[in-house]
Amino acid sequence: MNAVLTVLGSGTSMGVPTIGCDCAVCQSSDPRDRRTRPSVLLEYAGKVVLIDSTPDFREQAIREKIRRLDAVLYTHTHADHILGIDDLRPLSFRHKPNKLPLYARPRDAAFIRNMFRYIFDADYKFGGLPQVELRVIEGPVELFGARFEPVPVIHGEAEIWGFRFGSAAYLTDHSEVPESSIAQLQNLDILFLDALRYKPHPTHSTVENSLKIVERVKPKRAFFTHICHDLPHEATNVSLPHGAQLAYDGMKLEFEI
């Protein structure tokens, strides 16, 4: 099945430009140096699936003219990946009397339910709530004829999920991709990896480290995301080997799902 992936956001948790920063990347006029928080949108079979709802979801949805959402999948519950839940409202209303399903692991679903109690607590009477429902998943899930397979990755102290879907995989936050997960990344057309910057970080991958993963996994196309203001788009891309490049907000890729 043909699918289109849109990079809604390619930035790290603080986004680029970063508040209060006067560095060259934060002041760059290249639109690819403007990075909202990390998320991708998948369109196939007339359906639209979102991976993570960031604090920038509203801006991303307006920019990409998103007209519908059929499901949301969560990689983990850090603020930069979930804080846009309230902005799912306009698209969730289209599901009435049903609800927009949000898929998450048991502990992530519990965290979201607790953090957004006003949405999920039936006693809370407040107008204009997102019409969403949590669906707990512990493994692969089939959505509209496509299989989404969790790919466990190490993100600092925590194990979180990336996803493989068809010929593509999206691993957004990781300091390490365990051996068992490397095995899930064979024969990929598209591989997204975390590449925060060059300097090591306790919970994120670096350009150098992610290039090593690309060398091992050998996808046809590799894209780096969750990028901070240390990496100017143009200059960094020129330095990357053939087949690997930085993602940017608004990038669209066709693939088989």
Q: How many CB atoms are closer than 10 A to CB 46? A: 8
Minimal distance, residue 213 CB to Zn ion, in Å = 17
Minimal distance, residue 180 CB to Zn ion, in Å = 20
Residue 156 φ/ψ, nearest 5 degrees: 65, -120
User: Which lies closer to Zn ion via its Cβ, residue 100 or residue 171?
Assistant: 171
Asked whether position 129 contacts Zn ion by CB under 5 A, the answer is: no
User: Which lies closer to Zn ion via its Cβ, residue 131 or residue 225?
Assistant: 225
Residues binding Zn ion: what is the number (CB under 5 A)? 8
Alpha-carbon gap, residue 203 to 175, rounded angstroms: 5
Q: Tell me, what DSSP letter sits at residue 176?
A: B
Q: Interaction with Zn ion in 211-230: which residues (CB under 5 A)?
A: 229
| Cβ neighbours of residue 109 closer than 8 Å, sequence gap 6 or more | 102, 134, 135, 136
Minimal distance, residue 209 CB to Zn ion, in Å = 16
Question: Among residues 100, 228, 257, which one has the least CA distance to residue 170?
Answer: 257
Kindly tell me which residue out of 56, 87, 173, 194 binds Zn ion, with binding defined by CB under 5 A.
173
Kindly tell me which residue out of 21, 79, 182, 183 binds Zn ion, with binding defined by CB under 5 A.
21
User: Which lies closer to Zn ion via its Cβ, residue 80 or residue 108?
Assistant: 80
Kindly tell me the burial class for residue 113, based on how many C-beta atoms sit within 10 Å of its own C-beta (0-12, 13-18, 19 or more).
Answer: middle
What distances in angstroms separate CA 34 from CA 11, 37, 184, 194, one per listed residue?
A: 8, 10, 32, 17
Minimal distance, residue 22 CB to Zn ion, in Å = 7
Kindly tell me which residue out of 1, 2, 23, 31 binds Zn ion, with binding defined by CB under 5 A.
23
What distances in angstroms separate CA 43 from CA 46, 59, 148, 165, one per listed residue?
A: 7, 19, 14, 12
User: Which lies closer to Zn ion via its Cβ, residue 18 or residue 184?
Assistant: 18
Q: Interaction with Zn ion in 37-96: which residues (CB under 5 A)?
A: 78, 80
Minimal distance, residue 179 CB to Zn ion, in Å = 21
Q: Segment contacting Zn ion (CB under 5 A): 57-65, 111-119, 173-181, 190-198?
A: 173-181
Residues in contact with Zn ion by CB under 5 A are: 18, 21, 23, 26, 78, 80, 173, 229
